[in-house]
């Protein structure tokens, strides 16, 4: 097995790293304190091809692999979690769902501008009363001739008030639980669609999070993604992609915690010597390093499996669970190393702690992933074949 990154991977990593250092790092403290979402950063990510990195060239993307997507998530979250979330949502959840499940016409109309960064996407699954229990969603879609009429509400939707396109999941058969869910490509300009920002969050304050209300929104039949009743499969396959980017992002956050802690421990003195000389401080840094290395291999292994076209629901679930918990613990230890200074915004570790807490919840809580892993081990859970699989890399003409 070859664990080395290619020269193309390293060049891409350097480009994303320099972008984040130039366009996000100097301003993020102010943006976080103000709760300000800087949309121009997202536009620049699109212009550089970061958002379409793993979409085939045929559909406007960079044609690179899923490891490149993981690299982008890691390097952006090293600086700030809010902007990694857009990679997860725009690319991992929505664009790759269109690549996997879309018709030629849907890809031409929607995937191409998303891959080019000309338009931006959101993923409308979570509702006020339906998070982990996806089958409990209450948004309904009733067909009337050539359109579906959607009514309902979505909550905690990243970019929900600014995205041009939202992949909305709704019940076409309310009595059928998960088998009654269908997916729809909804444009924000459709009458009856409204996005309302959510403010005063604990973390990811520099991010755009919104509620979406759908009131008699008419969606053309040709905007249904997949067949009626395939929405649950589409959502779960999309989460396989999004969760990998969440795990890779957590790797970046752990690395940021290590770097910040090492700098501080080497400079801060107590009892006449740098605090890095104290064994209990060393123990915390060592635990961060162990979490980083384990999380890194889990996340990039999941990305490698995607490259091979191998189903990776179990591996991606494990990576997301382990890496986000490791990031939360690393941020907590980083704050402890910084002491009272860590509790202020003078140093970034308090922001790391607040940001890291969110990822333990979204795209499957820790408890959901623990249940999944146990059921795989016990033989209670097996992955059913999908009608459409995510294309392996390198992409062929049919991708």
List pLDDT tens digits, range 84-137: 999 999 999 999 999 999 999 999 999 999 999 999 999 999 999 998 889 899
Q: 244, 220, 236, 242: which is closest to 103 by C-alpha?
A: 220
85 and 16 belong to one structural domain: yes
pLDDT at site 145: 97
Which residue matches tokens 């892993």?
A: 373
Answer whether residue 394 is part of any domain: no
For the stretch 44-59, pLDDT in tens is 999 999 999 999 999 9
186 and 287: one domain? no
Q: Is residue 65 situated within a structural domain?
A: yes
pLDDT at position 151: 98
Q: What was the pLDDT predicted at 57? A: 97
- 179 and 283 fall within a common domain: no
Q: Tell me if 391 is assigned to some domain.
A: no
Distance CA 131, CA 246 (A): 17
Mean pLDDT score, 223-249 = 97
Confidence of residue 291 (pLDDT cuts 50, 70, 90): very high
Closest CA to 117 of 229, 221, 39: 39
363 a catalytic residue? yes
Residue 399: inside a domain, yes or no?
no
Average per-residue pLDDT for the chain = 97
Please calculate the CA angle 326-247-334 and round it to the nearest 5 degrees: 30
Residue pair 264/347 in contact by the 8 Å Cβ criterion = yes
Confidence band, pLDDT 50/70/90 cuts, at residue 396: confident
At 397 the pLDDT is 78
Give the CATH number of the domain where residue 346 resides: 1.20.140.10
Residue 396 lies inside a defined structural domain of this protein: no
Together in a domain, 373 and 249: yes
State phi, psi for 388 to the nearest 5 degrees: -130, 130
In a domain, 390, yes or no: no
Torsion of CA 50, 123, 225, 190, to 10 degrees: -100
Domain end (from 120, 135, 161)? 120
* CA–CA distances in Å: residue 106 to residues 118, 222, 223: 16, 8, 7
Catalytic residue among 23, 77, 85, 363: 363
- Sign, CA dihedral 348-351-355-356, equals positive
Range of the domain at 83: 7-120
Q: Do residues 94 and 155 both lie within one domain?
A: no
Instruction: Give bridge partners of residue 183 from the DSSP assignment.
Output: 169, 225
Q: Name the least confident of 130-139, 261-270, 354-363.
A: 130-139
Over residues 223-238, mean pLDDT: 97
Q: Is the pLDDT of residue 1 over 80?
A: no
Q: Give the per-residue pLDDT at 228.
A: 97
The pLDDT of residue 41 is above 80: yes
Q: For residue 179, count other CB atoms closer than 10 A to its CB.
A: 14
Same domain, 147 and 94: no
On whether both 60 and 161 belong to a single domain, the answer is no
Q: What is the CATH number of the domain that holds 105?
A: 1.10.540.10
Is residue 393 in a domain? no
Name the band, by pLDDT with cuts 50, 70 and 90, for residue 186: very high
Select from 93, 120, 147 the last residue of a domain: 120
Pair (285, 298) in one structural domain = yes
Whether residues 255 and 372 share a domain: the answer is yes
User: How confident is the model at residue 398, as a pLDDT?
Assistant: 80
Q: Is 385 within a domain?
A: no
> Could you say which of 89, 120, 151 is where a domain stops?
120
Q: How many domains does the chain have?
A: 3
DSSP strand pairing (165-171 vs 121-124): parallel
One domain, residues 278 and 331? yes
Considering the domain architecture, whether residues 110 and 127 belong to the same structural domain is answered as: no
Average pLDDT over every residue of 275-293: 98
Q: How far apart are CA 293 and CA 77, in angstroms?
A: 16
239 shares a domain with 356: yes
Residue 217: its H or E element: strand 209-220
Q: What is the pLDDT of residue 269?
A: 96
Q: Which of 162, 143, 262 is nearest to 212 (CA)?
A: 162
Please write the tens of the pLDDT for every residue from 153-169: 999 999 999 999 999 99
Q: What is the pLDDT of residues 348-357, one digit of tens each?
A: 999 999 999 9
Position 2 scores a pLDDT of 80
Average pLDDT over residues 54-65: 98
């Amino acid at each position: 097995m070859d664990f080395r990154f290619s020269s193309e991977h390293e060049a891409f990593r350097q480009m994303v790293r320099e972008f984040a250092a130039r366009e996000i790092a100097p301003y993020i403290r102010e943006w976080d304190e103000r709760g300000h979402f800087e949309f121009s950063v997202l536009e620049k990510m699109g212009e550089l091809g970061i958002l379409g990195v793993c979409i085939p060239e045929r559909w406007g993307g960079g044609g690179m692999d899923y490891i490149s997507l993981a690299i982008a998530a890691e390097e952006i979250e090293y600086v700030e979690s809010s902007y990694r979330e857009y990679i997860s949502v725009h690319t991992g959840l929505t664009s790759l769902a269109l690549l996997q499940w879309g018709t030629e016409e849907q890809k031409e109309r929607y995937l191409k501008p998303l891959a080019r960064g000309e338009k931006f996407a959101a993923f409308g699954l979570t509702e006020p009363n339906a998070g982990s229990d996806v089958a409990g969603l209450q948004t309904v879609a009733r067909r009337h001739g050539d359109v579906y009429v959607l009514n309902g509400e979505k909550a905690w939707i990243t970019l929900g008030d600014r995205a041009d396109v939202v992949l909305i999941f709704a019940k076409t058969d309310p009595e059928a639980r998960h088998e009654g869910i269908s997916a729809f490509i909804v444009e924000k300009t459709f009458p009856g669609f409204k996005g309302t920002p959510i403010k005063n969050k604990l973390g990811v304050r520099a991010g755009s999070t919104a509620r979406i209300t759908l009131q008699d929104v008419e969606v053309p039949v040709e905007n249904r993604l997949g067949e009626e009743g395939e929405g649950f499969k589409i959502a779960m396959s999309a989460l396989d992609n999004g969760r990998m980017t969440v795990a890779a992002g957590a790797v970046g956050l752990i690395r940021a915690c290590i770097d910040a802690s090492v700098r501080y421990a080497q400079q801060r003195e107590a009892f006449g010597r740098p605090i890095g000389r104290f064994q209990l401080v060393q123990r915390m840094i060592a635990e961060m390093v162990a979490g980083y290395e384990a999380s890194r291999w889990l996340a990039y292994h999941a990305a490698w499996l995607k490259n091979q076209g191998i189903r990776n629901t179990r591996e991606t679930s494990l990576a997301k669970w382990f890496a986000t918990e490791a990031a939360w613990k690393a941020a907590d230890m980083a704050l402890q190393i910084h002491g009272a200074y860590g509790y202020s915004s003078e140093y970034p570790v308090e922001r790391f702690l607040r940001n890291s807490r969110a990822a333990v919840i979204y795209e499957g809580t820790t408890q959901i992933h623990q249940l999944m892993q146990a059921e795989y081990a016990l033989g209670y859970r097996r992955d059913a074949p999908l009608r459409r699989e995510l294309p392996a890399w390198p992409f062929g003409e049919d991708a």
